[in-house]
Amino acid sequence: MTHEPLLLAEVERAYREEHGRVVAALTRRFGDLDLAEDAASEALVAALEQWPTGGIPPNPGGWLTTTAMHRAIDRIRRESHRDAKHQAALMITDDTPHAPTGVVEDDRLRLMFTCCHPALPAEARVALTLRMLGGLTVAEIARAFLVPETTMARRITRAKGKIKAANIPFRIPDETAVAQRLGAVLDVVHLVFNEGYLAGAGDDPIRADLTTEGIRLGRLMRVLLPEDGEVAGLLALMLLIDARRDARVARGALVTLDQQDRAAWDREQIAEGHALVRECLQRVAAGGAAPGQFQLMAAINAVHTDAADPRNTDWGQIAALYDQLYAVTPTPVVALNRAVAIAELDGPDVALAIVDRLDLDGYHAWHVTRADLLRRLGRSADARAAYDAAIAATENPAERAYLARRRAELEEVDDSAPREPERP
């Protein structure tokens, strides 16, 4: 069948987009993460077997959820200790009221708050949620955390075991619990969005299903906590970054911010993001809490998107905002981004001295930044080596294409440079 590979890709895409919804719905029904994840995987197998011949149904998410529910019930019925779980399964078809779900009504958002229970280590909360809700592979999550895949697999397994052993309920009991878990939940939403926008391997340089899901969750958080500055800041940050999506890739290669066609930016999203940033600033000016990391990151992106021409970017304001961000979140990655602004203000030599002091050899953006600074300093051989390291450190096809082109440009410059005549 000539169209079968294309159809199979569409099946996998539909599953990827609906994975979080399916797992969250099954988790609410059965209270078992392993069962929910396994049943969702079995539903994908069924879709791969049936959809290529019968066609993708009008409501793929509903089909996958129903199929996964049936697979879960079948598995429960096969278990020897089935009584309690069997009764839970029967809740699908009878009129028994479900257990109260708490103040969070959306299944996926509730699952996120559940996975961010304080009984779990912070890194496990984020990793587990990315796996269960975002549908990311263990390899993708490990790359986001800069740890080996085996380490991440153990971390996720332990977190699921802790939830089961401690009988952590899949509901949010009160507003206090929401406040206690808010920081972890915001981190998860941000990472879900980032994993989509900075997608690694695969044919799509941007995973729109994850960026859309991140923004959707951000809007739900905004409804839940309309007065929280960090919630508003995170939503603004995602909107301002996503507004540039259509201009970020051209002819299969990444387009950097300074080279993007700004007419292709989504002006409605930018206006919404700017309004949220202004709201945060007004809240701080009125005596509210000092801005957190997401508000500051949103403000930095607001400055970038406020410039109609990259030459008019207010790098002084961006550097000052990075100073504030580093005071709140003193990480090497923040220092690296600050160095980019310093390069525009004080020159690439000053920025390179900062970058070379950072312990980020395993981080591809560090190599990209070094390559650009070395290129600007005319150190072509060093820049080529840095581009090679950057290409080796990323699996994103669009970014690899961009970096390869930049490296090739250095070769062309070297070839066109005048050479000394050979001595006799």
Please write the tens of the pLDDT for every residue from 77-121.
Answer: 887 555 555 555 544 444 333 444 455 567 777 788 888 888 888
Distance, CA of 119 to CA of 28 (rounded, Å):
19
Residue 334: both structure tokens together? 């923040």
Specify if 133 maps to a domain: no
| Nearest by Cα to 375 from 367, 345, 309 | 367
CA atoms within a 13 Å half-sphere pointing along the CA-CB vector of 262: 15
Q: For residue 107, count other CB atoms closer than 10 A to its CB.
A: 21
Q: How confident is residue 1, by pLDDT bands cut at 50, 70 and 90?
A: very low
Distance, CA of 379 to CA of 227 (rounded, Å):
50
Which of 41-55, 70-84, 215-229, 336-350 shows the lowest per-residue confidence on average (mean pLDDT)? 70-84
Specify if 171 maps to a domain: no
Specify if 63 maps to a domain: yes
Domain range for 403 is 336-414
Q: For residue 160, count other CB atoms closer than 10 A to its CB.
A: 19
- Model pLDDT, residue 85: 52
Give the pairing type, strands 253-254 and 249-250: antiparallel
Q: What is the CATH number of the domain that holds 380?
A: 1.25.40.10
Contact between residue 254 and residue 199 where contact means Cβ atoms under 8 Å apart: no
What are the Cα distances from residue 26, in Å, to 42, 57, 89, 107, 185? Answer: 13, 20, 10, 9, 20
Please write the tens of the pLDDT for every residue from 278-302.
Answer: 999 999 999 989 999 999 999 999 9
- Model pLDDT, residue 104: 56
- Helix-then-strand count for the chain, H and E: 20, 2
Specify if 287 maps to a domain: no
- Model pLDDT, residue 195: 79
DSSP code at position 358:
S
Kindly tell me if the per-residue pLDDT of 146 is higher than 60.
yes
Contact between residue 346 and residue 373 where contact means Cβ atoms under 8 Å apart: no
- Model pLDDT, residue 247: 93
Query: What is the DSSP secondary-structure string of 225-287?
Result: -TT-HHHHHHHHHHHHHHTTHHHHEETTEE--GGGS-GGGS-HHHHHHHHHHHHHHHHHHHTT
- Model pLDDT, residue 199: 62
Q: How confident is residue 170, by pLDDT bands cut at 50, 70 and 90?
A: confident
- Model pLDDT, residue 424: 35
Q: For the residues 406-424, what does the mean pLDDT come to?
A: 61
Place of tokens 């951000």: 218
Q: For the residues 347-375, what does the mean pLDDT come to?
A: 95
Q: For the residues 238-252, what does the mean pLDDT come to?
A: 93
- Model pLDDT, residue 366: 96
- Model pLDDT, residue 5: 59
Kindly tell me if the per-residue pLDDT of 396 is higher than 60.
yes
Q: For the residues 366-386, what does the mean pLDDT come to?
A: 96
Burial class (CB in 10 A: 0-12, 13-18, 19+), 11: buried
DSSP code at position 206:
S
Provide the domain count of the chain.
2
Residues in the chain: 424
Specify if 121 maps to a domain: no
Specify if 248 maps to a domain: no
Kindly tell me if the per-residue pLDDT of 207 is higher than 50.
yes
Angle made by CA atoms 219, 194, 293, in degrees to the nearest 5:
70
What are the Cα distances from residue 55, in Å, to 10, 11, 276? Answer: 10, 9, 43
Boundary of a domain, candidates 90, 120, 135: 90
Specify if 79 maps to a domain: yes
Q: How confident is residue 387, by pLDDT bands cut at 50, 70 and 90?
A: very high
Highest mean pLDDT among 147-151, 174-178, 376-380, 396-400: 376-380
- Model pLDDT, residue 345: 97
Place of tokens 């700017």: 274
Kindly tell me if the per-residue pLDDT of 46 is higher than 70.
yes
Boundary of a domain, candidates 46, 70, 90: 90
Specify if 343 maps to a domain: yes
Q: For the residues 301-324, what does the mean pLDDT come to?
A: 96
Residue 385: both structure tokens together? 């080596």
Predicted TM-score of the model (pTM): 0.76
Boundary of a domain, candidates 69, 90, 111: 90
